[in-house]
């Protein structure tokens, strides 16, 4: 009898532990997704994808990024660390580093090697440049490394930064068509990844080609096919249907990224990971991070008003519906927690705005650099511009010192010149940024994205609507709402139904998850939480 009682108590304790945390957390990031897409494309979504999340989960309609620059690397890092680039150190996708005096990529690590069928450069990646822990790191620490953390994406940064420093694995897509990793995670791929790669799942989509999912009349939320605001897609004219096999033969398997089928391929890979790694199968909470990148590639190339982008979201809706059904069957309804958000949003194409009588234009970065160099030579008799990128201007301090020039006066001269440019709204020097008090909203955003050991002498804020980019497609990076306003939906384990229209900030996601999972906060966060999903 005593033995039976002990077994019953033990079983009850295990049940309580299981209820204390979900079996699996799935973090979904949709690259370059505007909150507005959930509204604009709503009539064409199924009932079981985005609508299932919105109707049965908790929707934050006014989730905002709180820093500049709004790029993929900083976005993924900020979601999972609960802090901004000024703290976690990922100040861009790639940037000119003041400390090293050369270009730097956010996840580069020459100390590691490619594992899998990828090129040498594709695999020299790790989270070493991330200066804060992630919520995934803290989960691993909390359960003494018993729970698994796996990150995956078509992009290396979309897989590595969310998975954090202590992940079991991070996998990203190679132009060879294989998912690869680096020796930071292991010396060989798991057998199931090798098997998946050998099956060449990407060829199914390439052979199938890309045509509209629905009749053309259903795409009345978008502009006509082949409009003047679209660029080419992998060298092809932007017109349906797309012959992906022909694109593949002219390029490589990387072309799948710029189609909605990159998302489908990633979902297949995610389901295989859940199965083969037995995620969500014991009392130790596991965490799977999934970053859908195809939306970003299509958005950059073809813009936010293209039929291609709408088709990509309609197909992603079905992909998410299928994935949720898979989680229901394998992990069990009520046993998993999902959140869906984006790493940044995106601007309207400037020519489209201009043609509709909004006085803006795109500005090619090379034109900005040329103007700065000419100004410098005309004013100081020498080129003092060391680099201009990511809205950051770096001055050549060695030449300034050699010529006996006053650095502060040189900065002021460049600032005054930049303020004469049509696209420029404001210009801030390093000193002004570091002295920010929070009274200037845009300066505060720049301050939160600024690392004085890495960033420039001057940071430029363009006027709303302007893009430092080409004439077709779109880009992002500013602190304006078209780049900062993204979705956030919590769904599943212990999440109430509801919605909020109050302004929330992206850095609240990670500490909220930490509280929900009853683990330590990531070490760089300000620990501001979303109480709406914590209250039962």
Active site residues: 72
**Neighbour tally for 97: CB within 10 Å:** 18
235: left (phi over 0), alpha (psi -120 to 50) or beta: left
CB-facing half-sphere around the CA of 256: CA atoms within 13 A: 29
Sign for the pseudo-dihedral over CA of 468, 416, 67, 433:
positive
Phi, psi of 327 (to 5 degrees): -65, -40
> CA-CA distance, 420 to 424, in Å (whole number)?
8
Collapsing DSSP states into helix, strand and coil, what is residue 416?
A: helix
Q: How many CB atoms lie within 10 A of CB 186?
A: 12
- The answer to whether the CB of 330 falls within 8 A of the CB of 348 is no
Task: Give whole-number Cα distances, 245 to 171, 255, 269, 422, 423, in Å.
Answer: 25, 10, 22, 44, 41
Pseudo-torsion of CA 248, 252, 258, 262, nearest 10°?
A: 90
Task: Report how far residue 59's alpha carbon sits from residue 425's, in angstroms, rounded to the nearest whole number.
Answer: 33
Q: How far apart are CA 498 and CA 58, in angstroms?
A: 5
- 204 beta partners: none
Contact (CB, 8 A) for 76 and 120: no
């Amino acid at each position: 009898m005593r033995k039976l009682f002990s077994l019953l108590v033990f079983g009850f304790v295990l049940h309580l532990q299981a209820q204390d945390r979900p079996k699996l957390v799935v973090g979904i990031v949709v690259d370059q997704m505007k909150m507005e897409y959930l509204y604009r494309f709503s009539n064409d979504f199924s009932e079981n994808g985005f609508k299932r999340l919105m109707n049965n989960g908790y929707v934050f309609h006014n989730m905002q990024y709180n820093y500049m620059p709004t790029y993929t690397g900083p976005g993924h890092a900020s979601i999972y660390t609960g802090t901004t680039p000024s703290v976690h150190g990922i100040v861009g996708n790639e940037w000119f580093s003041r400390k090293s005096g050369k270009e730097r990529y956010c996840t580069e690590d020459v100390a590691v090697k490619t594992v899998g069928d990828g090129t040498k450069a594709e695999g020299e990646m790790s989270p070493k440049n991330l200066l804060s822990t992630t919520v995934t790191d803290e989960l691993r620490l909390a359960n003494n490394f018993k729970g698994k953390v796996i990150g995956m994406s078509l992009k290396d940064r979309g897989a590595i930064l969310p998975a954090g420093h202590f992940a079991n694995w991070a996998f990203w897509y190679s132009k060879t068509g294989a998912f690869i990793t680096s020796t930071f995670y292991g010396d060989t791929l798991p057998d199931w990844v090798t098997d998946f790669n050998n099956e060449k799942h990407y060829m199914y989509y390439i052979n199938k080609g890309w045509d509209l999912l629905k009749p053309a009349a259903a795409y009345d939320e978008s502009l006509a096919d082949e409009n003047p605001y679209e660029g080419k897609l992998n060298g092809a004219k932007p017109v349906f249907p797309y012959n992906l096999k022909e694109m593949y033969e002219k390029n490589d398997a990387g072309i799948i990224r710029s189609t909605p089928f990159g998302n489908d391929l990633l979902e297949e890979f995610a389901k295989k990971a859940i199965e083969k790694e037995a995620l969500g199968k014991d009392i130790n909470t596991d965490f799977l991070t999934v970053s859908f990148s195809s939306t970003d590639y299509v958005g950059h190339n073809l813009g936010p008003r293209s039929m291609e982008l709408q088709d990509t979201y309609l197909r992603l809706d079905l992909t998410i519906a299928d994935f949720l059904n898979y989680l229901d069957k394998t992990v069990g309804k009520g046993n998993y927690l999902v959140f869906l958000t984006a790493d940044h949003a995106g601007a309207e194409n400037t020519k489209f705005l201009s043609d509709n009588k909004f006085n803006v234009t795109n500005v090619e970065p090379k034109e900005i650099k040329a103007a700065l160099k000419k100004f410098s030579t005309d004013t100081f008799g020498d080129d003092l511009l060391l680099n201009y990128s990511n809205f950051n201007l770096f001055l050549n301090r060695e030449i300034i010192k050699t010529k006996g020039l006053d650095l502060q006066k040189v900065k002021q001269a460049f600032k005054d010149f930049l303020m004469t440019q049509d696209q420029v709204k404001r210009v801030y020097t390093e000193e002004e940024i570091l002295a920010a008090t929070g009274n200037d909203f845009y300066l505060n955003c720049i301050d939160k994205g600024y690392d004085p050991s890495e960033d420039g002498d001057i940071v430029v804020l363009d006027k709303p609507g302007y893009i430092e980019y080409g004439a077709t497609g779109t880009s992002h990076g500013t602190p304006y709402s078209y780049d900062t306003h993204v979705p956030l939906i919590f769904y599943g384990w212990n999440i109430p139904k509801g919605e909020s229209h109050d302004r929330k900030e992206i850095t609240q996601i990670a500490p909220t998850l930490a509280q929900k999972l009853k683990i330590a906060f990531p070490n760089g966060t300000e620990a501001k939480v979303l109480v709406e999903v914590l209250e039962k």
